[in-house]
Amino acid sequence: EELGIVSDGIKFLYSYIHSNAYETEMVFSHSCIHNGPFPFNQEEIDDIKFWSIAEIKNAMGQGILSDNFESEIDKYLTSRNIAG
Instruction: Give percent of the chain above pLDDT 90.
Output: 38
**Integer Cα distance of 27 and 72 in angstroms:** 9
Average pLDDT on 23-41 reads: 87
Asked, for residue 2, whether it belongs to a domain, the answer is no
**61: which DSSP letter?**
T
Asked, for residue 17, whether it belongs to a domain, the answer is yes
Please tell me the predicted confidence (pLDDT) of residue 35: 83
Q: Per the structure, how many domains does the chain have? A: 1
Average pLDDT on 20-36 reads: 88
Asked, for residue 34, whether it belongs to a domain, the answer is yes
**Integer Cα distance of 30 and 12 in angstroms:** 4
Q: Read off φ and ψ for residue 78, nearest 5 degrees.
A: -65, -45
Predicted TM-score (pTM) of the model is 0.73
Q: Which range of residues forms the domain containing residue 65?
A: 11-79
Which residues on neighbouring strands pair with residue 14, listed in sequence order?
29
Please tell me the predicted confidence (pLDDT) of residue 38: 82
Asked, for residue 3, whether it belongs to a domain, the answer is no
Q: Mean pLDDT highest for which of 39-43, 45-49, 60-64?
A: 60-64
Asked, for residue 4, whether it belongs to a domain, the answer is no
